[in-house]
A and B are shown apart, each in its own frame.
Chain A
């Protein structure tokens, strides 16, 4: 771990050198912008203005303990700052200097970290980035409430401050963020309801539809949208960035699901096969159920229903999927979305050659990464 930078150096090994250099260049600024914005939101002055009322010392300290400190700790443990980096990339592509809009750069990461608190509650995860999750620190209900406040604090920032973007751009940005917040919940409905319904006859396309409005949103589509709007992109350019984020998000999630079971590197940062332990019905599970012989399908469902962390059973389930050809089929689907992403990037004739190369490098990194 690079302590000063708060990310693992080996994470850059998967990036093309030019992209890694660009990332190293912007990382300190992104991190500084995010932490400075969070710290400003946590001041009494900001809170009193946002709440339209004075705060006694006691209430202010209660807010610091329950709402501010647990959330800020997510940012000080580690974090790649990929989302702010993408906002900087977009701004630069349109000739805007990202350092003139630090709050805009910070918003995507603030939203992302808030969504992690909700993910941690849904999965009942004990740890995040090496420390206790928010709900372990302050309880499920308080954690849910603080996540909601952090998700929506962007509307306080965008509605009241001079952020270096036009009022029209601010209005569009607010509407887009509100929409992304909402559709992310609809996608998550599928994720939380499927294990409860207790049957497995869903279709792979239905999984992709839920991904489109779940992980795709905060991971890539929203950062690209924020960057494009803030940089003054026209409607067509905005639509291209949104579409690119969507395709890339789909490819990313499919690859992420595969890496959860078949990491390409010992440094894979998450618990191995935790998706199986949580009984998640991912693309490769559904592809296996379409392809495997009946006795293997039955066995896979049995293991998923057990919510087990027994390494032998997890290995057995992974082997069933592998034999069925599900991983290859999932990679093929991811490849289709990568190809589509590159088509969109190729059609972005407003990008310089250098920027297009960096973008293609980023696309390759997302799908070829081993961790």
Chain B
């Protein structure tokens, strides 16, 4: 039963992504999200340099973990997630963008930075990653009319907070490159909250906006989501997976945590349990139904070492 529910959400999100990301010329899409063309676009360049590589990337990464969390929460809070598939798609775009540059080396010039995973020239690929990230707040702004005005404006604001992902990626890469040690476990956990927790927090924001939760409940739910994201990664790391999460027959490629702290697997598991407990306790502020949704979500993960590389 749960398997069917998860698969249905995945299908819903994949369909929403297909609706929202054209693979070929789509005048209505460009008019809605960009502008009415004044001179005329070169559609071939947009198709080959943006739409098609993104569609392929999206098809290769179809575990849709964050939309699943958002969907379970929306339903648990008494709303219908099916009515808000566009929000789930916008949420997934931020995830897709977060892993697009993960396999590039931090070279001092382009030739030192290339990766075999990238099938288009590096400047084009970097532009795609940029576009996907910056598209999601605009999608929320222009395609979520089903939300109340207050929730809509609040969610646009939450999706626009792209400062944190940029900063946390820079910090992760730099800390690793400088070979500096996290000075304490607490500091390492703060790094994880910022680097890998944020998009799980954003999934909770989507649910809070749909369910019109007040600021206090929304903040608690977001904190719970961040803790949940960290707990999942700690558990996976304890099993030897530093960049993947396995959930119901799907492997989700996650941002590689480069700036790590050497902690033994038993301690990682213990930290994961403590963090998960914190997540459940924070979720309870939004109501017992939210805690239930968190429990259901965390039950879909299979903790074994799963495929480390990009599929």
- Which residues of A are at the interface with B, using a C-beta cutoff of 8 A? 47, 50-51, 53-56, 58-59, 62-63, 65-67, 118, 121-122, 124, 126, 135-136, 138-142, 144-153, 155-156, 159, 171, 174-175, 178-179, 181-183, 185-186, 188-190, 192-197, 202-203, 205-206, 208-210, 212-213
CA distance A230 to B46 in the complex (A): 34
Q: List 10 A-B contacts (CB under 8 A).
A: A121-B123, A141-B106, A145-B169, A146-B170, A152-B161, A153-B163, A155-B157, A186-B50, A189-B127, A208-B38
- Which residues of B are at the interface with A, using a C-beta cutoff of 8 A? 33-35, 37-42, 44-46, 48-50, 101, 104-110, 112-113, 120-121, 123-124, 126-128, 130-131, 133-135, 137-138, 141, 153, 156-157, 160-167, 169-171, 173-175, 177-178, 180, 182-184, 187, 190-191, 193-194
CA distance A190 to B178 in the complex (A): 36
Interface SS, A side: helix
> Is the CB–CB distance between A148 and B138 below 8 Å?
no
> Is the CB–CB distance between A67 and B170 below 8 Å?
yes
CA distance A154 to B171 in the complex (A): 20
Most buried by B among A152, A183, A203: A152
> Is the CB–CB distance between A209 and B127 below 8 Å?
no
* B residues less than 8 Å from A171 (CB atoms): 153
* B residues less than 8 Å from A202 (CB atoms): 42, 45
* B residues less than 8 Å from A155 (CB atoms): 157, 160-163
> Is the CB–CB distance between B156 and A193 below 8 Å?
no
- Least Cβ–Cβ distance between A18 and chain B, in angstroms: 33
CA distance A195 to B120 in the complex (A): 12
> Is the CB–CB distance between B173 and A67 below 8 Å?
no
> Is the CB–CB distance between B127 and A122 below 8 Å?
yes
With CB as the reference atom, state the residue of chain B lying closest to A171: B153
Q: A181-B134, A212-B38 in contact; A192/B166 too (CB < 8 A)?
A: no
* A residues less than 8 Å from B137 (CB atoms): 178, 182
CA distance A181 to B113 in the complex (A): 24
Interface SS, B side: helix
Q: A148-B133, A190-B45, A209-B39 in contact; A174/B121 too (CB < 8 A)?
A: no
Q: A149-B167, A196-B124 in contact; A185/B134 too (CB < 8 A)?
A: yes
With CB as the reference atom, state the residue of chain A lying closest to B46: A189
- Least Cβ–Cβ distance between A274 and chain B, in angstroms: 15
> Is the CB–CB distance between A186 and B194 below 8 Å?
no
- Least Cβ–Cβ distance between A353 and chain B, in angstroms: 31
* A residues less than 8 Å from B167 (CB atoms): 47, 51, 63, 67, 145-146, 149
> Is the CB–CB distance between A148 and B166 below 8 Å?
yes
